[in-house]
Structures are given as C-alpha cells and as structure tokens.
Amino acid sequence: MIDLRIDEIVEAVGGALVGTPDCGLLVVGGDVHTDSRKVVPGSIFFALPGELTDGHLFVQAAVDAGAALLVVEREQPVSVPQIVVADGLLALSSLARVVVSRVRSSGDLKVVAVTGSNGKTTTKNMLWAILADQGSTVAPLGSFNNEVGAPISMLGITESTRFLVVEMGADAIGDITKLVSIAKPDVGIVLTVGLAHVGKFGSPEVTQLAKSEMVRDLPPTSFAVLNADDGRVSRMAELTSAQLCWFGLDASADVRAIDVDTTVDGTSFTLLVDGYSHSVQLRILGEHHVTNALAAIAATRALGIDVAAAVRALETMTRAERWRMEVMENPDGVVIINDAYNASPDSMAAALKTLAQVTGPERRSFAVLGEMAELGDYANEEHDRMGRLAVRLNVKQLVVVGHNARHIHNAAGLEGSWDGESILVDTVDEAYDVLHGRLRKGDVVLVKSSNSAGLRFLGDRLAGITT
C-alpha cells in the first residue's frame, strides 16, 4: 500500500481514532489483512465480523504479529493505534477507493477488471503475465474477487504501480457495481454468463444482470471487452457508453481465433486481429482457455500493448493456476489433468471435451467427477447432463465421488449399455483405491469438481504429489 499518515486513514475510513497516538504517524506501505495469520510487522489489520467467526477475536494475534494499526468496529484493549468505524467492510472499501484514486491522480495507473461465470482467475493470470512485462503490475493471488478480497487486492498498489488487475465476483446484485465504483476500470471484461453459482442468483437471467454491472457505469473513455460468442454477454453492449471491443471465435470479433487444436501438450490456434495473423501455442490445456486468452489480448490491446508482445507472454505460461487444468505425469507414466479447484456445468463440460480430445484412440480416458456446488434447483439436471456427456464422449472409465454427485453416475448408466464403466464411491480415499488398481502407463485421468468436494487433493495424490 502507499504510505499514509494515520489521520489520512482516519479520514478515508470515516472512523474515530482511539486514545492519543500521533495522528501524523506515517504507516509506511503496510500490507492490509483481514486474516491475523497473514499479518507481518507494519500491517494494517481490519477486524471484520463474519458468518463463522469475528475478526475482533483475533486482534491480539494481529498485534503480536506486528500490526501497526487496527481498524475495528468496537474498541479493543490493546496499545496499538486503532480506528473505530461503524462498518468495517465499508471502511475497507473506502480506504481502497482513496488509495486507487490517489495513485491514479499522481501517476499512470491503468485498471483492468474482469468478471464472468467462468474463467475469471485464468484470465486474470493471463493479464498479469502480459502486463508484468510492460511495467509494475498488481493482481490478486488466487481468487481474491469478493467484497473483501477485491479491495485488499487494490490496496496492494503503490505510486510505482502501472497496472492493476482486479477480479470481480458477485454473490448478489450490486456487488460488482460496488467494486467498479472503487476501482473505476479503464477496461472492463465480461467473459461468460453461465450456470456457475446459479443457486445464489436463481436463474441465468439474474446472473446476466449481475455481470452486466461491470460495463454499465464505464465512461466513454473506458473500454468494454465483451465475448462475441456468448449471447447474454453480447447484449450488454446496449447497456454501456464505453468503447466496445469484441473477442471470440465468431467472425464478427475484433480479436478472433481460428484453427483451434488441443493436445496433451497444450492448445494452439491462429489469432486474427487488426489484419494480423499469428500462430499461438499455449502450454495451457483446453479449448475454453482460448476464450480467456482472446479476452486478455483484447484488453491489453485496448491499453495500447503490442499484440505480438501479448502473445509471447501468454506462450510462456505453464499453467492457468494451481488445480486448474493442471497437467502432471506421475512416475508410472499416467497423465493427470487436475481441474478440481472449481466446477460449473460449463467448465465441467469443457474439461470432459478436452479429455476426449487429448486422449485419442491410443490412450484410455478416465474421468473422476465430484459435485458441482451452488447450482440450486439446477443441480440434479446438470449433474445428470454431465453423466450423459461422459458417455457420449466415450470416456472409458467414470468414477463419481460423493452422494451429491450421484446423478452423474445414474445418468451415465441410463445413457448407454455401460456395465461397470461408471463407479460411484462415497469418499476420495475409495476413489483412489479404485483408480490405483486400474491405471497404467499412457492413461489420461481428468479430476474435476467444485473446491468443496476436495478432489484436487486426489489429483495431487494420483500424480504423486504430497500436499
């Protein structure tokens, strides 16, 4: 974070300074945390109340770790300077807004924000790879994209930061609007509108409304980067006054891909943009990541970055993110595709299609599938659809893990004349035992589920990685 005096922070968060500390004391570039375990000397600790616990219970731990300043909703019996606010979450957002505004006014900061039902984190990492070659870049680690994580990511900038990449998720209508009002993006990207987290929103139409908040308030000087292949996203063009830039496979896209091909070594395509044609070889697996790459190229092109430089940066990426289409080969020569950090119907279908593409007739394909969470009333239908898709793609062996994923197994059995090609187990350990006795050199295993199912650790175990 930039250096700020305590009185400046008090004004930014709209709080009251407790005790008689020196208001002019400089908080020098301190990190901002809501988790006391991450606090280091000089950090600012926000004690936020939550559904499961209360950050005020960990104030002493933060002080012991070296916190230089506390932001709390009720005064704490500690000697460290503290600012008491009415709403800690609102105070966090307010501080982020002030910091982003100050850096923007004093430097050359450009902000790129990305949202979508699928692909946010991969696209964020692709943007990071491109922009970091051009100047000091700040982007969140992992999926820091909610009302807490996104402002904390924004607070990581300093006066020397040239690019800020913000991933924006939503649990409710209005969430992205709030984040956009803080970051004021120069480029706003919308990737897809699908069934991910539809249990929270109730329908894809409400999800579309939530994601459209990314571009609704962008000024004419900003760019709205939209997916030409997604009808719900393309309709957002009517809602924004920003300059439009389209990406996708559709012939109308400004940044377009043709001749897409996927092998176990990566994904290739021909990029068409501004009369420019270039062969691109991503080391990241899966046709669906072509969409993410096009979005990143379109966004950085809007910032004036050379397309060839963007392509070179993307080609150096070895993986999208830990546990996202992460390809590993175990000592026995079995290829593991570990994609079990998150799952939605769209991403699971894409992963299954990738498995079929990279396996070919000379290899055996295994799909280990767990629950896709947060689907609400769509859960049974969408799990059923995944089971039928696995059969149609000729997956040789399906292992379904957990009661909540059982409809995948049931549907696979109903789809064709399978006899033992689908196995339902209750636990990750049972799945490992089934696979351990069947896998041989050359097999390709996809492991796919939502994070809550815990299959990502099964993928590591099959690859011989101890976590």
> What kind and span of H or E run contains 97?
helix 88-106
**Residue 117 labelled as part of a binding site:** yes
For residue 196, is pLDDT > 60? yes
pLDDT for 264 equals 86
Collapsing DSSP to helix, strand or coil, 235 comes out as: helix
Q: Residue 392: how many CB atoms within 10 A of its CB?
A: 13
The tens digit of pLDDT for each residue in 61-117 reads: 999 999 999 999 999 999 899 999 999 999 999 999 999 999 999 889 999 999 999
Q: Does 118 belong to an annotated binding site?
A: yes
First to last CA, the chain: 32
pTM confidence score: 0.89
Report d(CA 306, CA 130) in Å as an integer.
10
For residue 467, is pLDDT > 70?
no
Model confidence over 349-404: pLDDT tens digits? 999 999 999 997 889 999 999 999 989 999 999 999 999 999 999 999 999 999 99
Asked if 340 and 327 count as a contact pair (C-beta separation under 8 A), the reply is no
* DSSP state for residue 245 in the 8-state scheme: E
Q: Is the pLDDT of residue 324 over 90?
A: no
**Residue 13 in this model has a pLDDT that exceeds 90:** yes
pLDDT at 246 over 80: yes
291 is known to lie in a ligand binding site: no
* Residue that the structure tokens 């699908």 belong to: 194
Beta bridge partners of 446: 337, 367
**What value does the mean pLDDT take over residues 7-20?**
91
Please give the Cα distance from 205 to 235 (Å, whole number).
12
User: What average pLDDT does this structure show over 33-60?
Assistant: 93
Structure tokens at 143: 């999926």
Band the pLDDT of 197: cuts 50, 70, 90.
low
| pLDDT, tens digit (0-9, with 9 covering 90-100), for 141-192 | 876 788 999 999 999 999 999 999 999 998 889 999 999 999 999 999 999 9
Is 116 known to sit in a ligand binding site?
Answer: yes
CA 192/CA 115 separation, integer angstroms: 8
Residue 105: Cβ within 10 Å count: 8
CATH 3.40.1390.10 in the chain, residue ranges = 4-86
Measured between alpha carbons, how far is residue 64 from residues 25, 32, 75, 246 in Å? 20, 16, 17, 50
C-alpha distances (whole Å) from 248 to each of 160, 210, 286, 298, 366 are: 33, 21, 15, 10, 30
Q: Is the separation of the CB atoms in 358 and 436 below 8 Å?
A: no
For 412-441, what is each residue's pLDDT tens digit? 988 866 667 999 999 999 999 999 889 999
Fold of 326-462: Protein-Tyrosine Phosphatase; Chain A (3.90.190)
d(CA 69, CA 3): 13
Paired sense of beta strands 44-46 and 16-17, if any: unpaired
- Provide the CA 75 distance to its chain's centre, in angstroms: 35
d(CA 241, CA 246) in angstroms, rounded, equals 15
pLDDT of 466 strictly over 70? no
| Spatial distance between the Cα atoms of 382 and 377, rounded to a whole number of angstroms | 10
Q: Where in the chain is the domain with CATH 3.90.190.20?
A: 326-462
The residue among 150, 206, 204, 141 whose CA lies nearest residue 179 is 150
Which residues of the chain are in CATH 3.40.1190.10 domains?
107-315
Q: 332 with 372: CB under 8 angstroms?
A: no
Mean pLDDT taken over the chain: 93
Phi/psi for 431 (5° steps) reads: -60, -40
- The two structure tokens encoding residue 284: 């990241």
CATH of 4-86, one of 3.40.50.300, 3.40.1390.10, 3.90.850.10, 1.10.240.10: 3.40.1390.10
**119 labelled binding-site residue:** yes
Determine the pLDDT at residue 103. Answer: 96
pLDDT at residue 225 in the model:
98
How many whole angstroms separate alpha carbon 225 and alpha carbon 245? 5
- Rounded to an integer, what distance in angstroms lies between the CA atom of residue 63 and that of residue 43? 9
**156 annotated ligand-binding residue:** no
Q: Which CATH superfamily is domain 107-315 in?
A: Mur-like, catalytic domain (3.40.1190.10)
- What three-state secondary structure class fits 446? strand
Q: Any idea which residue has 């270039």 for tokens?
A: 278
pLDDT for the residue 20: 67
Residues 192-217, mean pLDDT to the nearest whole number: 87
Query: Average pLDDT, stretch 257-268?
Result: 93
Beta bridge partners of 180: none
Residue 312 CB partners (closer than 8 Å, separation 6+) = none
Q: How far apart are CA 314 and CA 128, in angstroms?
A: 10
Q: 342: helix, coil or strand?
A: coil
- Cα separation of 335 and 105, whole Å? 50
Q: Which amino acid is at 396?
A: K
State both tokens at 323.
Answer: 């546990």
Q: Is 121 annotated as a binding residue?
A: yes
33 vs 107, more confident:
33
- Quick one: what percent of the chain has pLDDT higher than 70? 98
The region that residue 115 occupies, defined by phi over 0 for left and psi between -120 and 50 for alpha, beta otherwise, is beta
Residue 300 CA to residue 397 CA, distance in Å, equals 42
pLDDT, greater one: 319 or 45:
45
- What token pair was written down for 184? 């004021």
Q: Where are the beta strands (DSSP E) in 98-221?
A: 110-115, 137-138, 163-167, 187-190
d(CA 460, CA 304): 40
SS3 287: coil
